[in-house]
Chain A
């Protein structure tokens, strides 16, 4: 892992190089609908360009969701098995408020923010009292409770029970079918903004304490850091971001189903983070893209047995890229730059 200790010249150059590369990627994604239109000869808001945008939109949503998971797993070093709770809460809150209350998007945004914030504080206060596997089990139990709740027939009127909610009435101006191009930019902008916010937070004094807790919680506490408070901050921040990803997920899919609260949804976050590289922000986002596109390509090639093939691919990734795509790349670069410039280590 390349740790920027200070902003010395070399680090500044590296940061600038990263920023430039990032900018190119964003530019490419921003132009993607038109590039796709150029390549296929079809209009940007129809045919294959439209379909491909759909794949990317789902990837952007999962990118935010995976990033939020990595705040916990990669940065704070705590393994949650209940992350789907936040994501699913965002999905259901959005779907229910649109379907039953016909709230505006701004209000729903604030509602999701508030609900997942409170959820994060309450469940964090309880679950963070235990560590390691116990924390994983407690969070799993909470998420499963929400999953069961979403299937409960008592609440069918509001949640649709095991059928979920369908035909969510989203405002026309962002209807994902009719306004695909607009929704594409909405989702891209959403992922970009969340990334920038998360980058600020992980590079803040608080963000550094969180990393210190991952590295050695005892020592962090011995230095005077109330590690519980910092873990709670990370938990809430991560939960709120997952909830917002859930909100956009509901707007995009126009439905809410119990599956978004299931343990599979948590495991997806785990897979995306591992594939992309835990402890980086770009990694899980890339992991989300890889998982999304791989899923599409494999299911087209292998049909319903594609998860088997995916399993093999995943094992290969873990074997050959033990720190994920971005994590391994960072290490490899740090390693080769040390070789090129011995001054880096010996000076």
Chain B
């Protein structure tokens, strides 16, 4: 629909000592699109996400959100500007219930966070919204379990639920299916696709499963050693010889 660039990085770089984990990346993400970032282990995908979401300060370069320079803003400020992310390594509130994990994410966007004198259980709209999201990621029935007691697959669903509940415009999904049993992967990806189809949200997705990436994304950026190797539609990427040589061959064997 719209061709507006909602997220852009210019010459974004992060060096860890001598290692150029991200070495000058230019990325343009269209509003409402599903844009995948692929690349082998250590290519710098997670580091790029950390730079965009404010968890790391860049060595060089800039990040723009809706044309506004947001380089170096802390994560909580970016969250209020509509940027949300999930983590490759599950990042939840372990000793709280599933419901409370999600409810806290809903509450974060509301106006009641600095109310010290009201019982949190009286804000029933947060609770009911949290229950909706829990049902959406098919964790219904597990609301009262502690997050730490969930199976790995369910933790990944919770990870996604927390992100969805905070209702961002731009979702940074860092390998949402990481470590999941292969039979659980389609269900989670169906949720991601459903979000994409039913909302106008922009999704930036890091994913290793090439079948999934080729099917769901509109654009793909291929990273290698901290740099962008290629960018294009799935067809273009599949046809790109450099990419094929460097990755698709080896991935083909990896994912079967």
Interface residues of A (CB under 8 A from B): 1, 3-7, 200-201, 203-209, 211-212, 215-216, 218-227, 233, 344-345, 347
Contact = CB atoms under 8 A, between A and B. Distances in A.
A135 B115 CA distance: 27
Q: Which of A1, A6, A208, A216 has the largest count of B CB atoms less than 10 A from its CB?
A: A6
Given A3-B96, A224-B80, A203 B120 contact: yes
B43 interface: no
Contacts of B93: 212, 215-216, 219
A224 B79 CA distance: 5
Contacts of B95: 1, 3, 215
Contacts of A216: 91-94
A3 B97 CA distance: 6
Contacts of A224: 76, 79-80, 108-109, 166
7 contacts: A6-B143, A209-B104, A212-B104, A224-B166, A225-B108, A233-B116, A347-B141
A225 B76 contact: yes
A216 to B, nearest CB: 5
Given A4-B121, A215-B96, A223 B162 contact: yes
Given A223-B105, A224-B80, A224-B166, A209 B100 contact: no
Contacts of A200: 116-117, 119
A226 B53 CA distance: 14
Contact of B118 (A204, A211, A223): A204
Contacts of A226: 76
A203 B143 CA distance: 19
B44 interface: no
Interface of B: 53, 55, 74-76, 79-80, 84-85, 87, 91-100, 103-105, 107-109, 112-121, 123, 127, 141, 143-146, 162, 166
A216 B104 CA distance: 12
Contact of B121 (A7, A219, A220): A7
B99 A6 contact: yes
| Leading 4 A-B pairs by shortest Cβ distance | A224-B79, A215-B93, A5-B99, A223-B108
A206 B111 CA distance: 11
B120 A345 contact: no
Given A212-B104, A225-B113, A203 B119 contact: yes
A338 to B, nearest CB: 10
A227 B74 CA distance: 11
A345 to B, nearest CB: 7
Contact of B116 (A5, A206, A225, A345): A206
A204 B115 contact: yes
Nearest to B142: A345
Contact of A206 (B98, B99, B115, B143): B115
Nearest to A206: B116
B119 to A, nearest CB: 5
Contact of A204 (B80, B117, B141): B117
Contacts of B117: 200-201, 204
Contacts of A347: 141
Nearest to A218: B91
Contact of A218 (B55, B84, B166): B55
Contacts of B109: 224
Given A4-B121, A216-B91, 11 more contacts: A5-B97, A5-B100, A6-B121, A205-B114, A212-B104, A215-B95, A223-B108, A225-B113, A226-B76, A233-B114, A233-B116
Contacts of B100: 3, 5, 208
Contacts of B116: 200-201, 204, 206-207, 233
A205 B120 CA distance: 5
Q: Which of A201, A205, A206, A219 has the largest count of B CB atoms less than 10 A from its CB?
A: A205
A208 B120 contact: yes
B91 A219 contact: yes
Given A6-B127, A204-B118, A219-B91, A212 B96 contact: yes
A205 B96 contact: no
Nearest to A224: B79
A5 B55 contact: no
Contacts of B94: 215-216
Nearest to B149: A345
Q: Which of A208, A224, A344 has the largest count of B CB atoms less than 10 A from its CB?
A: A224
A245 to B, nearest CB: 20
Contacts of A345: 144-145
